[in-house]
Chains A and B, each alone.
Chain A
């Protein structure tokens, strides 16, 4: 399984943008980049995913480097509820296989939001 590298922790202020980096230098051409987050006392929650192009959804934006060896999750305006551990995961084959999933979690980045 291809691995990802993330900073152990990051800190930001409420209502400011947050950029969470992820390195995945051994990514293969069919690997999708997924982001999940885990709030305290809850199971992980899907945030966003992408393959090559930048992606936006109601929760966040995902910026993918041209060589795909790194990506950045962008929270445009952080709130206290965004304090969580954020995981960057490479998932093989994307959605081609029927619902197949084997998510390989790293240690993630613990994001602290200051009021």
Chain B
């Protein structure tokens, strides 16, 4: 099985712009979660989707949003980018039983200039 795929791997955006990141989970996984990783705050949970419904949301401003499609692929969007949004954005997918834990992608490195 192919792993979790995140695109693009690297992105440079300007303050005020918006960005959309994509995540393709492992085939058959219906749960997709997003995390932000920065040197100062570490890994922080953004939100989780299951069967196109957001089930959990972390403590991030409304500029951060996401969605999940019927094929379980997910996108996250950040509007009005700020310098502090520069981070590694990680996506993880989990099978329904969760027995094998969460599988993470390699992430998208976003740099806001």
Contacts and interface: CB of A to CB of B under 8 A. Distances in A.
Interface of A: 34, 36, 41-46, 49, 87, 94-95, 97-108
Contact of B105 (A43, A103, A104, A108): A43
Interface string B78-113: 000000000000101011111111111111000000
Contact of A98 (B43, B58, B96): B96
Q: How large is the interface on B (under 10, 10 to 19, 20 to 34, 35 or more residues)?
A: 20 to 34
A100 B56 contact: yes
B107 A98 contact: no
B8 interface: no
Nearest to B58: A102
B101 A100 contact: no
Given A42-B106, A43-B104, A100 B42 contact: no
Contacts of B94: 99, 101
Contacts of A46: 100-103
Given A43-B92, A101-B48, A95 B97 contact: yes
Contacts of A34: 101
A97 to B, nearest CB: 8
Contacts of A98: 30-31, 50, 96, 98
Contact of B48 (A94, A100, A107): A100
